[in-house]
Structure 1
Amino acid sequence: MEKEKISILIVEDDMIIAANLSIQLTSLGYEVTGILPRGEEAIVHVRENRPHILLMDINLKGELSGIETAKAIKKDNNISIIYLTANSDDATFNKAKETHPKAFITKPFNKLNLQRTIALVVEQMKDEKESSKNAQHIEVLEDRIFVRHNGRMEKLLLQDILYIEADRNYCILITPKIKHILTCTLKVMEERLPKSSFVRVHRSFIINISKLDVLADGHLEIGRKVIPIGKSYKELLLNRIRTV
């Protein structure tokens, strides 16, 4: 993923800051698809233009905050988000984390900080793209998955999977007897596994819902493994349990 092919949408209601960002990003070789002051406009723009990166001010002045805008966009788009913020309090930071941003840039920013942050995000995007390519070698059928083990593809029944844990661009697939390390992201596994049996409960965990032993307020247990429940996943988990 070459730098000149990376497109960025700027969502910032301070037009002086937005214009400065646009000039600096263009000088660094990125394509700026637009400069927008409102979240509602950003939602439409992303749907129509599909930029790679969303450079988003957290504290927008319109009806939607930057975090609310990001949540709406992430429902339908796998887009990398970098937040711009002058507010670094814990409550705002924790709310922003629920949208799984790639990075934060604190205002006032300088060109070097901007350049390095976006370069790191682009590298993450490269790694995720490569992991997705590698994941094409993982075969998921109706009741089983074939995983590479000791140089060959081995069958693993889906009912034997306890949970899957993320490890950067890899997944660790846990069964009662063995664990497999897969060269793909947790998001790829989430898309491929049947939603009737598997549910994401945290940014780092997918569980086989039939293996759930204990459900507590902020965590669950499968066997002796304590797994945290992310706030943004709790409602989905509860709804899935009600339909089992």
Structure 2
Amino acid sequence: MEKGARILIVEDDMIIAANISLQLGNLGYEVTGIVTRGEEAITHTKENAPDILLLDINLKGNLNGIQTAKAIQQFKDIPVIYLTANTDEVTFASAKETKPKAFITKPFNKLNLQRTIELVADQLVEKEEAVKTELSDMEVLGDRVFIRHNGKMEKLLLEDILYIEADRNYCTVVTKNRNLVLSCTLKTMLERLPNASFIRVHRSYVVNISKLDVIADGHLEINRKVIPLGKSHKEFLFKRIQTI
């Protein structure tokens, strides 16, 4: 990944964009494209799935760079590196909301660009390796899941899982009889479990829909455990329940 990262350049100054593209190519990176408008960046990202977004904050058109990043982050988890000649506090505070990996101030030099891209590419590699490790700790087979616990893979029937609670990079799988702790993110857990049975209801909780005992305005209950119901997840939960 480090030398093979695929990068989209979003810059409305074509001279600057061409210079960046040339430098990235010389460093061994693949430039998936150069676009000048936020709308074009959104379409390109959907169609080409770049690994890194190199994005000018002060884009012309209907969407500036920050608005473009927010729109893309709605459908893709992608690291953002901002290019900017504007470093005022208001712009910086707004850009921080998108959690960028770095800022490169114009005019920039080749070494600054190289080091910034290398750092972000290294983080991508580390993230991929972490995901591979997480996936090796859990294997879903039909109606059951095998979870690594105390050095061995233990079987759990999916129907026995009540809910999953996350604490940073650890997840606790809760059943009536026992709890199993995994070194795994909640996002990874949810991606492996069948969508028909499990749903995220809070940033820290995934529940087995069939195990719900109480559904209240701001919380759920499973086996007397009170689980918070996030506002952003409430509507989706109700839609899912109506289809069951």
TM-score, structure 2 normalization: 0.70
SS at match of 1:4: coil
> 1:152 matched to which residue of 2?
152
**Letter of the 1:163 counterpart:** I
In the alignment, is the contact (CA less than 8 A) between 1:171 and 1:185 conserved in 2? yes
Is residue 88 from structure 1 mapped to residue 87 from structure 2 by the alignment?
Answer: no
Structure 1 distance, partners of 2:137, 2:241, is 31
Matches within 5 A, 1:53-132: 53-57=52-56, 60-64=59-63, 65-67=67-69, 69-71=71-73, 73-74=75-76, 80-84=78-82, 87-89=91-93, 93-94=96-97, 96=98, 103-106=100-103, 108=105, 117-132=116-131
In the alignment, is the contact (CA less than 8 A) between 2:101 and 2:120 conserved in 1? no
In the alignment, is the contact (CA less than 8 A) between 1:38 and 1:61 conserved in 2? yes
User: How much does 1:60 deviate?
Assistant: 4.1
* Structure 1 residues 214 and 235, CA gap change in structure 2 (3 angstroms): closer
**Letter of the 1:193 counterpart:** L
User: How much does 1:93 deviate?
Assistant: 4.7
Q: RMSD in angstroms over aligned alpha carbons?
A: 3.7
> 2:4 matched to which residue of 1?
5
SS at match of 2:128: helix
Q: Map Cα deviations across residues 147-195 of structure 1 (whole Å, 9 max, x no partner).
A: 1222322111223231242633x54433354433335443332222111
> How many pairs were matched up?
229
> 2:49 matched to which residue of 1?
50
User: How much does 1:6 deviate?
Assistant: 1.1
User: How much does 1:52 deviate?
Assistant: 1.7
Structure 2 distance, partners of 1:166, 1:27, is 42
Percent identity between the two aligned chains: 48
> 1:33 matched to which residue of 2?
32
Structure 2 distance, partners of 1:241, 1:225, is 18
SS at match of 2:12: coil
> 2:175 matched to which residue of 1?
175
TM-score, structure 1 normalization: 0.70
In the alignment, is the contact (CA less than 8 A) between 1:56 and 1:81 conserved in 2? no
Structure 1 distance, partners of 2:105, 2:208, is 45
Question: Which runs of structure 1 show a deviation greater than 6 angstroms over 4 or more consecutive aligned residues?
Answer: none
* Structure 1 residues 68 and 238, CA gap change in structure 2 (3 angstroms): farther
In the alignment, is the contact (CA less than 8 A) between 1:198 and 1:209 conserved in 2? yes
In the alignment, is the contact (CA less than 8 A) between 2:4 and 2:30 conserved in 1? yes
